[in-house]
Amino acid sequence: MLKNLKIGTKLFIAFLAIILIFIIVGLFFLFKSQQALSQAAFNQLESVRSDKKAQVEAFFVERQSDMPVLLDTVALFRQNAFQQLQSVKESRKRELEHYFQERLHDVTVASKTFSIAQALHQFDEALHLEEDISRANTRRSIEQQFHTELNRFTEKEGYHHFFLIAKDGDVVYSTAKAVQLGINLLNNQALNNTPLNRAFKQGLKGVTIQDFAPSLLSEQEEQPVAFFAAPVFKTGELMGVLLLCINHEPINVIMQQRQGLGQTFDAYLVGKRGSQTTYRSKRVAKNGGAIEKVDEESSQALAGQSDTRIKMDNTGHFKITSYAPLNIPNLNWGIVVTIGLEESLTLTRKGEKKDFFAQYIAEYGYYDAFLIHPKGPIFYTVLHESEHNTNIITGEYANSGLGQLIQEVLKTQTFGISDFAPYAPSHGEPTAFIAQPLIIEGRIEMIVALQISDVKLSQIMQQRAGMGKTGEAYLVGSDKLMRSNSFLDPVNHSIKASFA
């Protein structure tokens, strides 16, 4: 059939065939090119997706790995705070016990000196002279004779008052104006049950200490004083009693040393006489006197127990407290030293304004850091937002992401993380939390928590490498709400807008 066609027709058909072949080949290569370009675009997106997925997963792995290091640091701070408080307690305890040992040594040695025995004997004889003039002159002569021995206790040794009392109860020498010379402690009804009377009676039996009690030794007012008493003998015969008296001043000097111990540091003494427990030294917040409600650490110390632990005080603040009994003859005393838990764990290095946790969240990109007691109180945050000093378990934020996470962590006693959700104390901004308990000797001592903002995640998702002008990457949660902010539409497609 083709043989009958003209040569021009044949050429035209051949030309059309060639063109058709080129069109088919071109279309084939175009299709393949489009496929290749599409595949390249998909591969690029998948590569970006995989890269961002790896970065996001690494972000959370890093957050989890941050926590053990932070817990070790908090544990070290706690240990150092405990050791420092114990060291202060033991130092004050030794100093006080030594102070009382010296006072007992003073009264013991003084009572055995010939000059004191001679002075007591001569004052007693002078007291019973019949003529007033003769009695006064004799007393002046005796005072001049024993001036050095009589005055060294109040002028050099720092005692508050000094007494010599004959064995029949007559006060033969006294530096206290309110205690009249010649008054008899045994026969005077007004002095029958006074600390001075009790100290004298105990002193007849041996060297002793009479605990602090209000005594009228001045004409102005009663003042708590303690007595050190010892019997005085002359050639084996009991002559009377030597009494040395102190007030609270030397005790307070020991207890109120505060240099380098922080603003919330407190140290005080408690003592129990009969059924009454009272302070034996001044406090920062209280000046002593009766204790309305004896705290647990005071009771434990007075019961002979020693310990260092964390507890809540009657104002709702947590503190580290260390207590122990004092080993002083005839006295049931205890020493208690405390410091605020927040201050002891939030150290600020010299020359710097930010504490450790403030520096930590700034360096690692966290929004806030929390220290939480196992019972729920948040006793420290860096930013001190409205959740600070509230109870995250029972308080108004118990149903927040942080509250639910803390309850979970208390049950599991392991690391935990919460998803992003609006958090009222942070102005309603969606935030996530991580938390882990600090466990000491099998018991949760506190919980350390960190607040994660969306900044780091949004920075990861908004990296533009390989994204072009119209590329977009974002995170969504199982609730189909945003977990990162959009690059192309940050106003309408953001975490905050998504949760609004």
- The pLDDT tens digits for 478-488 are 888 877 777 76
Q: Give Cβ neighbours of residue 3 (< 8 Å, ≥ 6 apart).
A: none
Q: What is the total residue count of the chain?
A: 500
The whole-number pLDDT of residue 372 equals 94
Per-residue confidence (pLDDT) for residue 152, from 0 to 100 = 84
Q: Cα–Cα distance between 293 and 282 in angstroms, integer?
A: 16
Provide the Cα torsion 186, 191, 194, 197; round to 10°.
-30
Query: What would the mean pLDDT of 148-174 be, rounded to a whole number?
Result: 87
Tens digit of each residue's pLDDT (9 = 90 or more) over 47-72: 666 777 887 788 888 889 989 999 99
Q: State mean pLDDT over 119-137.
A: 81
State which H helix or E strand residue 232 sits in.
strand 223-234
| Ordered domains of the chain (ranges, CATH) | 112-244 (3.30.450.20), 250-345 (3.30.450.20), 356-453 (3.30.450.20)
Q: Report CA-CA distances (Å) from 293 to 224, 299, 317.
A: 20, 10, 17
Residue 445 has pLDDT above 90, yes or no: yes
| Contact call for residues 184 and 167 (beta carbons, < 8 A) | no
Among the ranges given (42-51, 134-143, 230-239), the one the predictor scored with the smallest mean pLDDT? 42-51
* Number of separate helices (H) and strands (E) present in the chain: 12, 15
Q: Cβ atoms within 10 A of the Cβ of 242, count?
A: 29
Model confidence at 148, in pLDDT bands (50, 70, 90)? confident
Residues 6+ apart with CB under 8 A from 495: 420, 430, 454, 458, 481, 482, 483, 484, 485
Model pLDDT, residue 220: 58
Which among 17-31, 39-53, 375-389, 486-500 has the top mean pLDDT? 375-389
The per-residue pLDDT for 286 is 53
| C-alpha to C-alpha distances, 109 to 161, 196, 228, nearest whole angstrom | 17, 21, 12
